[in-house]
């Protein structure tokens, strides 16, 4: 489609409309939003499953005396699993709203709602991943001043799994930051 644009003193020119290009960019942002949400779902559910299924048992002298390490022994790890599950559930429930943005890229209030809840989920995930990272650090390095010894020399499989579960959670944090920036960009373009 074209429209007449006055160039100078009554002369006209045929110029393309800007609206189809803007709608195309809005749809591209909405498709990227849905894609990033799916990737963040994979990261959070993977982290929750990896941490939630982590345990290791070591025999001590005999089979009757054993030491066991499992995620539920530490409240930080339990919080980590619960927070990742909550964020994963939120991301799954926010997919339909993101799909609405593909159909209607000019929707404003639903974008504001997503920004608000994405920021809240980012805060929750950051708190959980940070608390778990502190415990993982102590498991690897220990703290000589507090007489907390590193347990990763004995429970190596346990430590590998809890360290690996942090990766998906921190990746999901980065993706949530990108989702917030995408929604803010989409809103800023409409001003």
Domain assignment present for residue 73? The answer is yes
What is the per-residue pLDDT for 49?
94
Domain assignment present for residue 1? The answer is no
Least confident of 27-41, 49-63, 79-93, 119-133: 49-63
Cβ neighbours for 70, distance < 8 A, ≥ 6 positions apart: 54, 55, 56, 158
Residues 123-159 pLDDT 10s: 999 999 999 999 888 888 888 888 778 877 777 777 8
Domain assignment present for residue 62? The answer is no
Q: Which domain holds residue 39?
A: 23-54+68-189
| Number of domains observed in the structure of the chain | 1
Domain assignment present for residue 31? The answer is yes
Domain assignment present for residue 27? The answer is yes
């Amino acid at each position: 489609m074209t429209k007449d644009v006055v160039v100078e003193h009554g002369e006209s020119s045929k110029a393309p409309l800007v609206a189809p290009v803007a709608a195309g960019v809005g749809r591209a942002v909405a498709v990227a939003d849905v894609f990033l949400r799916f990737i963040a779902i994979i990261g959070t559910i993977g982290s929750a499953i990896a941490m939630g299924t982590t345990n290791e048992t070591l025999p001590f002298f005999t089979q009757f005396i054993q030491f066991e390490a499992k995620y539920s022994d530490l409240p930080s790890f339990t919080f980590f699993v619960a927070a990742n599950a909550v964020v994963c559930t939120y991301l799954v429930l926010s997919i339909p709203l993101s799909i609405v943005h593909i159909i209607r890229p000019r929707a404003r209030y639903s974008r504001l709602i997503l920004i608000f809840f994405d920021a809240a989920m980012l805060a929750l995930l950051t708190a959980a991943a940070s608390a778990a990272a502190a415990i993982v650090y102590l498991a690897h390095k220990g703290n000589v001043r507090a007489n907390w010894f590193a347990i990763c020399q004995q429970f190596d499989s346990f430590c590998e799994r809890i360290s690996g579960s942090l990766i998906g959670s921190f990746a999901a944090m980065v993706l949530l930051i990108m989702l917030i920036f995408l929604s803010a960009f989409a809103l800023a373009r409409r001003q």
